[in-house]
Amino acid sequence: HGTWGINLREFRFVQTMIFAIEEINNSSDLLPNVSVGYRIFDSCGSTLPSTRAVMGLMNGEENSWRKNCSSVHAIIGASESSSTIAMQQISGVFQTPMVSNHFATCACLSNRKEYPSFFRTIPSDYYQSRALAKLVKHFGWTWVGAVRSDNDYGNNGMATFIEAASQEGICVEYSESISRTGSRENVERVVRVIRRGTAGVLVAFLAQGEMDVLLEEVLTQNLTGLQWVGSESWITANYLAEKRYAGILTGSLGFAIRKAKIRGLREFLLKVNPSQEPQSDLLREFWETTFGCSFRSGTPGTKLCSGFERLQDADNAFTDVSELRISNNVYKAVYAVAHAFHGLLKCGPSGDSVSHSCILRDHSEHRQVAEQLQKVNFTLQSGERVHFDENGDPAATYELVNWQRNQAGDVVFTTVGKYDASQPNWNQFTMSNVKITWAAESWERPLSVCSENCLPGFRQAIIKGKPICCFSCVPCGGGEISNTNNSAGCSQCPSEYWSNVDHSKCVPKVIEFLSYGETMGALLTAFSLCGASLTLVVLCVFFRFRHTPLVKASNSELSFLLLFSLTLCFLCSLAFIGRPTEWSCMLRHTAFGVAFALCISCILAKTITVVMAFKAKRPANTFPQCSAPLQRTSVIGCTLIQVFICVVWLVFAPPFPHKNTVYASEKIILECFLGSPVAFWVVMAYIGFLALLCFILAFLGRKLPDNFNEAKFITFSMLIFSAVWLTFIPAYVSSPGKFTVAVEIFAILASSFGLLFCIFAPKCYILLLKPERNTKKHLMGRNQSKTQ
């Protein structure tokens, strides 16, 4: 019985037990020559009647539906965990084994110390709760609500679910409990909590009684749109699939016991009739409930039952055998007890079956039945294997059931997946290819999260004072990535990689160097080639006019050497452009140092020659005889010193290519590491020393005759040269990346152009545009007039 009268589903379970017992009694292989009897008590789905029932079993109470039963050796039932626990506390004292077959799923009953003689054919909620957590996680629902029965079944099952859900990263927004015997106000409050909640998924760990109470209030408050996830107690209850609740529950998901077929059961059920047990009030009440009649005459508004009504015409939970799940567990429980008895029959010396009195001979029989139950291992006609583990539990296997509508519009329980706890953790939960119907009969999976998913490129940041499922999305920093949704943190890219624009993957860093292809590199190359070409043009002009007085007076040998060194100065800047290599790094600074040392040495020799020519006390015609060797020696000597410095530099600490990832973290600056900064600045200092010496000598000769005042032009050129390189030093030190190279090239080109124009432009002007001045008379005339 339930709250509203006889429970037709539970009555079917009773008839399934009777069917199994009659099959065993008719079998010649199992318990031969032994008849199994039974006594049936009504627990009314409550703890107190269950306690009264087990006391009746122990005391031999006659007020029960019985057949061929002298004493009780095993108990099958009861329907709920709380009732089962209460019964076990009494029957366990007598070591009477109990085999529960449907809703006694509390994980606490697996405790062998407290319940040593308890067995069950339905898996423990320890597995179902974890299966539900994996189910919720599989569909990406990280924010769910929960409601449970306020009894051992609901409280223990929900506690295990919340623990497993937390391990899976799932948060429970609220967890409420209801009882079918509790106040209506509490149920109304629970439904209001569900309505106010933001979770779109409701996990209902409810027994059928509490599910009925909750659904009635849900209908009253018109609460719709929830995705229900149910426990095995109600997920395959056919009466809930009626039109009254279908609009609310269609699309529900939950784990159910595997469906099976029991051959002959339907035919047996259809033969049930009050005439089988005329004294049974339970049979008469079943008949009256099924056909809406009464065996008592004179009942107003009710027809009289004849007893000849046909169950084939009835369509209810009793006659419906399309979903034999719990009924199959009842069937297995009866056969398990029978196989345990059969094991005791083989206690004779010869191993043959002995008489029934052998089983009932002494008071240790209950313990022996429990021991045999622990050992049973058999296969049903359907091919299903039955056995118990060390805790009295069966193998934990479930089917994932989805409430869908068939073509006729009726709700059907469709299997869309399975859960097998015996498999490895990664393979326990599997989905089939069947399309799932979701809440509100939608084909689109509902979303139930506290916070929207953080896309790749973002990480979760916990919001203070809220559960871990409520978070904000923070973009990853430079050089960090996250390539999955809802990443807890960002990963740092390797040293030579950087995050892309979306911060979703690491890509090779941009390698930066001054190349010929970019605008700045192309312009500097053009200026370099232009300067070299212009120098060669000047060289050609001087060669063309090499016999003229102006070229001879300018010391043609030093002029040609100076023009050659200037060409090298222009061209050495090209070594600074392009991808740095080991050879280009060694070439660029040494070539630059030697070329400029040669250039300044030539200018220094010219300056010395000019100053000495006008300051000498000897006759003018004797000076050129000793000046040429002196010029060559000074040029070669000054240049060789720079060559020596560069050779030492290259031998002990040569420049080499270097990937600079310190200055700019988002890119790699490919540069030439100096190897020895001291050597570099020694090279620069030596060039500066030559330039300073040249400037001083030229400054001393600034008042020489105007028509031949080359010292004045050298002074200007040295001023420009010094200004350029003095400006270069701070710019070089502070410029980043490829701009350091560009500054150095600019300094080379600017100083080279300064030398070229200051020294050779006035001469080219006379040679090309004022040839009348290119005479010895003109060159000497001004000087003579001043002397006079």
Tokens of 596: 């400029």
pLDDT of 707 strictly over 80: no
pLDDT of 61 strictly over 90: no
Residues 6+ apart with CB under 8 A from 487: 454, 456, 458, 459, 460
pLDDT of amino acid 627: 60
Of 1.10.10.10, 1.20.1070.10, 1.20.1440.230, 1.10.275.10, the CATH number of 519-613+627-780 is 1.20.1070.10
Mean pLDDT of the chain: 84
Q: pLDDT category, 1, cuts 50, 70, 90?
A: low
Fold classification of 8-51+72-124+262-387 (topology level): Rossmann fold (3.40.50)
Q: Are 505 and 481 in contact (CB under 8 A)?
A: yes
Question: 751 vs 64, which has greater pLDDT?
Answer: 751
Q: What is the largest CA-CA distance in the chain?
A: 167
Q: pLDDT category, 364, cuts 50, 70, 90?
A: very low
Q: Are 119 and 246 in contact (CB under 8 A)?
A: no
Instruction: Write the DSSP assignment of 10-76 as a string of letters.
Output: HHHHHHHHHHHHHHHHT-SSSSTT----EEE---TTSHHHHHHHHHHHHHT-SSSEEES-SS-S-EE
- Asked if domains 8-51+72-124+262-387 and 126-258+396-441 share a fold, the reply is yes
* Region 317-340 average pLDDT: 90
Share of the chain above pLDDT 70, in %: 90
* Region 492-512 average pLDDT: 90
d(CA 568, CA 641): 18
The domain spans of the chain are: 8-51+72-124+262-387, 126-258+396-441, 458-508, 519-613+627-780
Class of the CATH domain delimited by 126-258+396-441: alpha beta
Q: Are 436 and 402 in contact (CB under 8 A)?
A: yes
Question: 351 vs 697, which has greater pLDDT?
Answer: 697
pLDDT of amino acid 507: 93
Q: pLDDT category, 389, cuts 50, 70, 90?
A: very high
17-26, 100-109, 199-208, 613-622: least confidently modelled range = 613-622
pLDDT of amino acid 217: 94
pLDDT of 359 strictly over 50: no
Q: Are 400 and 135 in contact (CB under 8 A)?
A: yes
pLDDT of amino acid 172: 95
pLDDT of amino acid 782: 47
Q: pLDDT category, 238, cuts 50, 70, 90?
A: confident
d(CA 589, CA 586): 6
* Region 754-783 average pLDDT: 76
pLDDT of 341 strictly over 60: yes
Question: 389 vs 706, which has greater pLDDT?
Answer: 389
pLDDT of amino acid 613: 62
- Residue-wise pLDDT tens digits, 391-426: 999 989 999 999 999 888 889 999 999 999 888 887
* Region 691-698 average pLDDT: 84
Place of tokens 């005329």: 278
Q: Tell me how many degrees the CA angle 526-528-530 measures, rounded to the nearest 5.
A: 65
Tokens of 107: 């994980």
pLDDT of amino acid 4: 56
pLDDT of amino acid 119: 94
pLDDT of amino acid 738: 80
Q: pTM for the whole thing? A: 0.64
pLDDT of 784 strictly over 70: no
d(CA 317, CA 508): 67
- Residue-wise pLDDT tens digits, 565-575: 999 999 998 98
pLDDT of amino acid 709: 58
- Residue-wise pLDDT tens digits, 587-638: 988 898 999 899 888 888 877 776 676 665 544 444 444 466 777 888 888 9
pLDDT of amino acid 89: 83
User: Which sign, positive or negative, has the C-alpha torsion 665, 671, 672, 676?
Assistant: negative
pLDDT of amino acid 767: 83
- Residue-wise pLDDT tens digits, 159-183: 999 999 999 989 999 999 999 888 9
- Residue-wise pLDDT tens digits, 537-555: 999 988 888 888 777 777 7
Q: pLDDT category, 724, cuts 50, 70, 90?
A: confident
